[in-house]
Structure 1
Amino acid sequence: MASTPTREVARRVFAREFNDASYTFKESDDDRAPVYVLLPTGQRANRVFLVGTLTETEDVGEDSEYWQGRVVDPNGDTFFMYAGQYQPDAASMLRELEPPAYVAVVGKPRTYETDEGEVNVSIRPESISKVDEATRDRWVVETAERTLDRVKRYKEADMEDPATDEYISMADEEYDQLSIENYRQSVVGALESLQDEQAEASAD
C-alpha cells in the first residue's frame, strides 16, 4: 500500500537566521522530492511558520499581479514573500491587507541568485492570515525556545563524531563563515523587544 505523503512540519525561525539559510538540497533524485533549505542552526526546513508585522505590500508584477510583502520580526529583520497566480489566496490577502498589520504566514522557502552572485531567500506563502498582538507574542516566545534548542544542539555536537546529526554537520560545512552566536542574539533581542513593548503598554 502506498504511503500517503505527509506535510512537512513548518519550522519557526527568526528572519535573521532564515535570510542566512542560502543552501538548498533534496534527499532524493525524484523530481517531486521536497526541496529543503538548511537552517544555519542545523535543521532542514521545507516549510516555515512566522508571525510578524506586515509593513509593506506591492504589486511588482509586469504582465500579471505578483505581490511582494514585507514582514518584520521583533528584531526589525525582514522576511520577504511573493505570491502570484499560483498562490491566489495569499495574493488576494496581500492585495487586501492594509499595513501595518500582524500576520501569520505559512509558506515554502525559496532561494534565488542575484546578478552579483548573492543568494536571496524568500517565502512562497501557502496561507496568510491577520492575527492579534497576543498571537504574535506567543510566536516570538515559542520561536525563541525552538531557536535556543537548535543553538544548544549545534554547540554540543562533536563534528568529528560520525554519529553527529547529519544536518548539523551539513550546516557546519556549508555555513562555516557564520557565527551561531548571531542566532542566540536574535532570541535575546526579540524577547527584550517584547518586554519593552509590554512595559510601555502597562505604563500607558
Structure 2
Amino acid sequence: MTNARETAWRVFSTELNSASYEIKAEAEKMPSYQLSRLGARINRVLIAGILTEKENVGTDDEPMWRGRIQDVASGTVYINIGRFQPDAAAAMAKIEAPCLIAVMGKVKSYTTEDQRTFVSVRPERVVPITESIRSEWLLDTARSTWDRMVKMQKALKAEDRSAEGLKKTGLSDTEAAGISQAIEVYGPPEAGTYLISIQNALRAILPDDNIDLGLPEDSVPEGPEEIDIDVQPGDPKAAADASPSSEDREAKEAAVLKLIKELDTDGKGAARDELERRAEQEASPAWSSRRSPTACSTKGSLTSPTSDTSRSSEL
C-alpha cells in the first residue's frame, strides 16, 4: 500500500529552524517529522525567498548543492541537494544567485555532539518565481502561522492538554496530537517571535505602507539588507512584474488589510497582549490569489509554473 503524500507546510524560517524535536518514523518507509513549537508536524515544506548563495560541494559529474534562502520575514533557510534529487539539482545548476525561488522538499535535522540541532530542507523541486508569487507565499504563510498561533492559544486554555482532551475542543486528530506534543516537549511558545515574522512579512508585501502591529520596537530586528535581483534583459513579463499594476497593488492591500483588521482593534496597532488575546479567537479565513510569473536569470532555460508554486493546497 502506498503512503499518502505529506502536505507541504508553509512556515517562516523562525518556526522551521526552531523545530528541533524529531518524531522518528514508526516503521520502515514511514515518514519522520520535525515538530514545530506551534505544533506543526513537518515532513515537507514549501519555502519562497531569495537564493542568496549556492555552492556545489560535489563534482561536475555528481553535483551536490548547498544554498541559503532568505525568507525576508524572519531569516534564513538552508537547503541541501544530493544525487537523489536530480530534478532539483538540474534546476539549481541553471539558477544564478541572487534569485527569487520557491523550494518544495523534505525537512531534515542534524544534531551535533553538544546537542545543538540544525534543520535544513532537501528540495524535491526548485523553481524561479516572481515578486508577486513571493508576496502570495508571504501572506499565505503569515495566515498559516496566525492560524497555528490561534490553535496553540486555544490548547493552552484547555484544562486537558492531552491529544484526546484537545480533540474535544474542536481540533483535528493531527492538530491535537502535534500541539499536545509541542506543549509537552517545548512548553508554551514565545508568541512575540511569530508575531514579528508576521509583521515583517506584511511590511515586505507593502513596503511603502506603515504596517505596525504594535510590537515594541526593540523587539523587532532590522530587516535584511536589500539584494538586487537580476532578471533576463528584455523580458516583458519581468518588466511588468517589476512595475505592478494598480489593480495588483490594490489586491495586495486588500488582502493584507484583512489580516491586519483581525489583529488591530484600534487602528494604531494592536499591543502584544491584545494580539495574544486575539489568538484565543477563531482562526482567520483562508486567502488565495494568483499572479503571473516572470523569469529569473538562469543558465539555459528554466520554467516557473505558478500552478505549482502558488497553490495553498497539496503540491
Task: With the length of structure 2 as denominator, give the TM-score of the two structures.
Answer: 0.59
1:171 matched to 2:194:
no
| Contact kept in structure 1, 2:203 and 2:209, CA below 8 Å | no
Map of 1:184 onto structure 2: 195
Equivalences for residues 1-204 of structure 1 within 5 A? 2=1, 4-26=2-24, 28=26, 30-61=27-58, 64-75=62-73, 77-157=75-155, 158=157, 160-161=159-160, 162=162, 163-164=165-166, 165-176=176-187, 178-196=189-207
Q: Higher Cα Rg: structure 1 or 2?
A: 2
Alpha-carbon distance, 1:156 to partner: 1.5
Distance 2:144 2:11 in 1: 8
Alpha-carbon distance, 1:181 to partner: 2.7
How many residues are matched? 199
Q: Deviations over 1:84-125 (max 9, x none)?
A: 111111112222210111111110000001243210000000
Distance 2:199 2:188 in 1: 22
| Contact kept in structure 1, 2:87 and 2:125, CA below 8 Å | yes
| Contact kept in structure 2, 1:151 and 1:184, CA below 8 Å | no
Q: Which shifted more, 53-62 or 123-132?
A: 53-62
RMSD of the alignment, in Å?
A: 2.3
Alpha-carbon distance, 1:169 to partner: 1.4
Gaps of 5+ in 1: none
Task: With the length of structure 1 as denominator, give the TM-score of the two structures.
Answer: 0.88
AA of the residue aligned to 1:156: K
| Contact kept in structure 2, 1:57 and 1:95, CA below 8 Å | no
Q: Which shifted more, 137-146 or 187-196?
A: 187-196
Alpha-carbon distance, 1:78 to partner: 0.5
Gaps of 5+ in 2: 167-175, 211-242, 245-315
Distance 1:148 1:27 in 2: 28
Alpha-carbon distance, 1:147 to partner: 0.4
Distance 1:179 1:61 in 2: 39
| Contact kept in structure 2, 1:52 and 1:103, CA below 8 Å | yes
Q: Deviations over 1:138-180 (max 9, x none)?
A: 0000000000000111011145413121211111122238513
AA of the residue aligned to 1:171: A
AA of the residue aligned to 2:28: D
Q: 1:95 to 1:198 in 2, by over 3 A?
A: farther
Alpha-carbon distance, 1:198 to partner: 7.7
| Contact kept in structure 2, 1:22 and 1:119, CA below 8 Å | yes
Map of 2:276 onto structure 1: none
Specify which structure has the higher proportion of strand: 1
SS of residue matched to 2:207 = helix
Distance 1:130 1:21 in 2: 26
In percent, how many aligned pairs have the same letter? 37
Alpha-carbon distance, 1:75 to partner: 2.5
Q: 1:175 to 1:57 in 2, by over 3 A?
A: same
SS of residue matched to 2:29 = coil
Q: 1:36 to 1:197 in 2, by over 3 A?
A: farther
